[in-house]
């Protein structure tokens, strides 16, 4: 029995991280983690399609109202990582409900997010939350790509 459990956990560990809707590949690139995680949590690229990341990186000078400009070589390296690991490139469930051709810039406005976050206002106005994009306020493993806690 113990061996079976061990085998099962090994299989689980070896299975693709995108197998589950509540798990995504964590960001492996330290530069992306540092720069994208400077003012907010560094969101995993699997949550948006490549075209969204491209548009986002084109508009860093007005990044949701902030000037998030980066040196050109840094921006290029981040753009390459985000688009290569985007949701429509790596697969997974996050793109499934996305309207074809739509280019969302906010993960919190994607169907996958809104479907799972239909909470009363009191949840969002909790002082620890601040904003819908503050994943780690509720998902303690968010930075590691773990969103299966509630």
The footprint of another protein (CB under 8 A) covers 37, 39-41, 65-71, 128-131, 133-134, 137
Strand partners for 66: 63
Give the nearest distance from C-beta 134 to another protein in angstroms.
4
Residue with Cβ nearer another protein (16 or 37): 37
Contact 24, 47 (CB under 8 A): yes
Residue with Cβ nearer another protein (90 or 135): 135
Of 28, 73, 93, 82, nearest to 53 (Cα)?
Answer: 82
Residue with Cβ nearer another protein (30 or 65): 65
- Listed in sequence order, the DSSP H helices in 1-150 are 2-14, 30-36, 50-58, 72-84, 87-90, 111-116, 121-124
Angle, CA of 114, 30 and 76, to the nearest 5°: 80
Contact 39, 12 (CB under 8 A): no
Give the nearest distance from C-beta 115 to another protein in angstroms.
22
Residue with Cβ nearer another protein (12 or 119): 119
Give the nearest distance from C-beta 47 to another protein in angstroms.
16
Give the nearest distance from C-beta 108 to another protein in angstroms.
12
Give the nearest distance from C-beta 104 to another protein in angstroms.
18
Residue with Cβ nearer another protein (42 or 90): 42
The number of residues in the chain equals 150
Strand partners for 146: 23
């Amino acid at each position: 029995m113990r061996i079976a459990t061990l085998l099962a956990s090994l299989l689980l560990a070896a299975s693709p991280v995108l197998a589950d809707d509540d798990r995504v590949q964590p960001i492996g690139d330290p530069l992306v983690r540092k720069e994208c995680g400077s003012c907010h949590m560094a969101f995993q690229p699997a949550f948006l399609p490549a075209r969204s990341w491209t548009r986002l990186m084109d508009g860093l000078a007005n990044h949701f109202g902030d000037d998030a400009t980066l040196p050109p070589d840094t921006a290029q390296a981040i753009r390459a990582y985000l688009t290569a690991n985007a949701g429509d490139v790596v697969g997974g469930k996050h793109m499934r409900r996305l309207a074809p051709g739509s280019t969302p810039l906010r993960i919190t406005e994607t169907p996958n997010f809104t479907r799972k976050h239909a909470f009363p206002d009191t949840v969002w106005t909790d002082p620890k939350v601040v904003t819908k994009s503050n994943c780690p306020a509720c998902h303690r493993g968010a930075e590691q790509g773990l969103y299966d806690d509630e």
